[in-house]
Structure 1
């Protein structure tokens, strides 16, 4: 089922920072333009009927002679009509989305590079006979072995599910079903409410229990309530019926109809994705007794006791007005429907660790039907992802040792320092902001923590049991290991050294409660960052990423926390009103973008990421200019420094996406589609118009007074 996202505002370059494994817009890179650098094959031209493959190497790609692929442009297109195509068109024309992906591009290429490296590492461990029993290396190898033991997995078929299904059948009252939801926390299944342990946004030195809406199997409420998703909803009902039939559930078709009707009622109670972004509205303090009084119909105390947090003095409820509605729906729903709902979600959750018929059924609906993916990922790739998901930092420690040079960290630290200087200079000159708010903004910027590459302290997996012949059990134990780790910290001070991403992750993020920006090792490669590339391209690539993450600290939600990560207002009312007026104008620009007929970008949903992109481009360019120390920028192959900067930004967003995946992204994802991550910010920067001589009449031209300058 769709997992609950709870906790502090966490802005990521690609994903919102529960981060996990959502598939969103992945991007593409292009090869060198001459023989002066190594050419890496980005995809193989397939024989007829063969699968299109993605990036196959373990060496980082190179782009041109100074960091940008000039041959990848399409200069027949006006920069002002489509800067994405002008900078990337020829590369995108040559690009093919691999059959086992819903999109492809620069991010996907580096993700595959990271996967290929991890695969080589894990296969090397599997081949060794000298690993110490119980060591992290042995556990990584055994996790992979368990996923690849297809003979045993097929022989077991649905057998691992039977204890869960028996418990669901025995939970034949509303109270018992709620207790079951709590008891399976961290394992397999689902709940109509999602509960987690998060950092307290108003007291970020401590942890707190958070609870919010959940219970849906489709991506969000819109899929149940809007006519344009009716076909997907019908496919979902057929999928629910198929899964129930496969586990021998009584009356699967009728049960599936009841389950979807139940979820539709829950969807009607859910807050919208835009409402869920508002940090002021999603921070509501309750006691368990208060929640039980305001949302009767659900046995809250029994549920929280089963979860393991029944004695907490306070908790945070996110969608407070939805809770009474969902609790009432639960109380009114027949037990047969609730049991069928739980059986389906348990099976759906477990499917990738069951026999092929379950795994294939889930892939067919969730990847093919929802997102248009033609083929399933090969099992060895899925096995690598499974092992990495279980022991991510143990894998990351080896990844860093083999693939992250110390010089990359040092150069990144200098880039970050320059970006901070650039934003500080801009803050001091903002005419729309008072001196009082400028001082508070500068204080917050000064208090930013920067994490680059990898954590200083690695996770301890000593208590996690991993067996080479027990895939289902490994997944159970890993889930409980993670949940118990979170639960054990409830009365402890917040661990400020913890990372929300592994070093081998191609992404970056800002964490508001820690006021920190984090850049894993795997993103610090071309086209984002190349120590040998022209500085302008690096400032447009990784510099834009750094500026993006810093910008999250000052976006419409991140700006609600101060330099110590406390959720509070540090703005004067007048300055906040000025800021909101600017963001409203920016949102209106994005509302006009229509990537696919009938589907407009949601400026309100993507606001935080759009502000981050705007900051990334504006502050990254300023930092590049500062790095020149008053000297003129060199001209390379007839390309000016500012042009190279904007090319660097555009190059990291090269991408293609299947139509169904694009529709899904527009409906659910807080990130704008890649094309508009390119043009959206640059059309608001004066220097872009000057660099490419963009004139009135161009499709994306904005007059100077229409350009939105926030950070």
Structure 2
């Protein structure tokens, strides 16, 4: 499943592909000059007071035409230091915290209730959370529940044993490659078996390969993490060092054969359909027929291979690497994936390594980690309890109406686009009208009846969930495509577009202030959730999404000329973001972030056009001294406010397809004549790109 989220996922290592007053006197705007001679906005009392724009966040010493991000958020950034347990702190984090507080109340209640019917969602959610919170039981268990799996790896004696281990879907941990069932990108009505590169611990292949100081520091910290973890498993110092070096040597070999993140964005090159016989011939050491048999996929005749060159190397490694070293690789990935449910000594080693990656000063509270684990494991079981308390049918209906308003506006923008031919416009409208909209929570909840959860062992619960999810995925093969599935849980502060299902999805967690507030004016809501909706819609037409048709099939529906015109326009955006530097010598990667940058620009464009149809926009009436247009842009800027640790920024610039928040704010606005007009910006101001360099698509 190809998935685009509006913001990065909270966990930096997530595999998914995954957005975060009172009695104010009424005021009117006047203009003064900054020390640089540029106009800045200040206010004087009178007029109407509103909700949704936090005036205290503004830094009026900064001219909006110099740096609108700082103008809108500067005081908030000064007054909101990053908590010690966080890698960054912003609007998304605050809303996630709010949602977690709601979730905590629900989870503690169900965990305390020992009368829940066995096998019910309440029992499973309550027992999973209770086991995750029971640190005494985790310490007492030690390696008791891990040891049988370690023994299974230790019993491997030869390459055939490695092949049998990798073939068994019940075994936990990364293998040499990924295999799963998903929609066929070129025939979205059927499920296909898919294989892809995988097997690395570090978040990006380049961490293994680059020789800059930071990459070397990460590798050194990684080695320490491995050595200390192996020692906790019972190895002496020399053996632990030997095993750590073997794992890293193998992963480095995998990294060299892996495609980088930019190359992985090319959907056409990631689609290589082969017969099972061909795969067995090309990669005999992977023993795919055995893997398919053990996975219940013996009926499969074809496999979509994502990265053949990588699988060629993985095939060679199984034959060439010493079996003893391969066993240490399996041992490492078994343990590294479940440290959260192991004794504190393992958790501490994991966090010490995380500190090097992110700069976090202390671990998150145990209840927050337990909530994240419960949401990840039983997201839709817990989600039913969450939405009953925190998301009303009325809120769902209001959000649905706004989506449809945005869809109408998008159609108008497509038809008004001068550079696109009539044939391509017709296909674009067909795709737009086919968008499936999912809001708040699933209409059909996931069935967890085959999942057994107890309070005995938090670790065994993780293994049970992993096996349940694997079986659930493999069981899809040969079945009709389930278009009701969700890729995020209801409390998630995020949104996404799924190309294969041609759907836009907005969990309940994001349909709250600051993104959507029923008490706020339209400018605030269109600048917030309106831009989120437009963002996800635009993913259907970004440099990747445009290659997929209305039915979710990978198909080029553009005329050759229109495709070339689009990519020329996209390249303008790419060059703009390449020039952004969040830290000294660290540049945003315009190619890696292309899809998200195009979605931000398109989303803001569509949201603004939709807002201009509202009575508020037509009235021109000021609130808190700001015109409707100014409030729209302030709302957009304030949702992106964030303070972030430099270590985290460096990691995200290398691995995340989203640009940092400050550039998500100013990047689109620098191209936006309506913003320039709203704040009186002129040619030469930092917030105004030269006309010849200005990006415009929709």
Give the corresponding residue for 2:596.
609
* Alignment root-mean-square deviation, CA: 2.1
Matched residues, number: 672
Inter-partner Cα distance in structure 1 for 2:131 and 2:272? 43
Inter-partner Cα distance in structure 2 for 1:594 and 1:426? 32
Residue 248 of structure 1: how far off its partner (Å) = 2.0
Counterpart secondary structure, 1:211:
strand
Give the corresponding residue for 1:203.
187
Inter-partner Cα distance in structure 1 for 2:303 and 2:10? 21
Residue 307 of structure 1: how far off its partner (Å) = 3.7
Report matched runs for 1:174-573 at 5 Å: 174-183=159-168, 185=169, 188-228=172-212, 229-249=215-235, 251-365=239-353, 367-573=354-560
Inter-partner Cα distance in structure 1 for 2:87 and 2:263? 28
Inter-partner Cα distance in structure 1 for 2:280 and 2:692? 53
Give the corresponding residue for 1:79.
64
Would you say the 8 A contact 2:5–2:18 is kept in 1?
no
Deviates more, 1:71-80 or 1:574-583: 71-80
Report matched runs for 1:635-650 at 5 Å: 635-650=622-637
Counterpart secondary structure, 1:519:
strand
Unmatched runs of 5 consecutive residues or more in structure 2 = 27-48
- Superposed CA deviations along residues 90-113 of structure 1, whole A, max 9, x for unmatched, are 011111212111111111111111
Change (3 A) 1:304 1:17: farther
Counterpart secondary structure, 1:626:
coil
Unmatched runs of 5 consecutive residues or more in structure 1 = 1-6, 38-63
Would you say the 8 A contact 1:15–1:24 is kept in 2?
no
Inter-partner Cα distance in structure 2 for 1:310 and 1:472? 31
Change (3 A) 1:625 1:410: same
Residue 327 of structure 1: how far off its partner (Å) = 1.9
Counterpart secondary structure, 2:509:
helix
Residue 607 of structure 1: how far off its partner (Å) = 0.6
Inter-partner Cα distance in structure 2 for 1:533 and 1:573? 45
Residue 240 of structure 1: how far off its partner (Å) = 1.3
Give the corresponding residue for 1:51.
none
Inter-partner Cα distance in structure 1 for 2:77 and 2:157? 55
Report matched runs for 1:650-669 at 5 Å: 650-669=637-656
- Superposed CA deviations along residues 355-403 of structure 1, whole A, max 9, x for unmatched, are 11112211221x2121111111111222222222222111111111111
Give the corresponding residue for 2:116.
131
Match of 1:95 among 67, 80, 83: 80
Give the corresponding residue for 2:6.
13
Would you say the 8 A contact 1:33–1:70 is kept in 2?
no
Would you say the 8 A contact 2:19–2:495 is kept in 1?
no
Change (3 A) 1:273 1:16: farther
Give the corresponding residue for 2:580.
593
Residue 425 of structure 1: how far off its partner (Å) = 0.9
Inter-partner Cα distance in structure 1 for 2:691 and 2:254? 46
Match of 1:111 among 81, 96, 114: 96
Residue 321 of structure 1: how far off its partner (Å) = 2.4
Inter-partner Cα distance in structure 1 for 2:10 and 2:190? 19
Inter-partner Cα distance in structure 1 for 2:293 and 2:65? 59
Inter-partner Cα distance in structure 2 for 1:646 and 1:92? 18
* TM-score, normalisation: structure 2: 0.93
Deviates more, 1:518-527 or 1:145-154: 145-154
Would you say the 8 A contact 1:12–1:509 is kept in 2?
yes
Inter-partner Cα distance in structure 2 for 1:634 and 1:333? 72
Counterpart secondary structure, 2:618:
coil
Inter-partner Cα distance in structure 2 for 1:354 and 1:681? 45
Would you say the 8 A contact 1:286–1:314 is kept in 2?
yes
Change (3 A) 1:371 1:472: same
Would you say the 8 A contact 1:206–1:491 is kept in 2?
yes
Would you say the 8 A contact 1:298–1:328 is kept in 2?
no
Would you say the 8 A contact 1:224–1:264 is kept in 2?
yes
Inter-partner Cα distance in structure 2 for 1:444 and 1:493? 22
Would you say the 8 A contact 2:531–2:604 is kept in 1?
yes
Counterpart secondary structure, 1:206:
strand
Change (3 A) 1:14 1:363: same
Give the corresponding residue for 2:43.
none
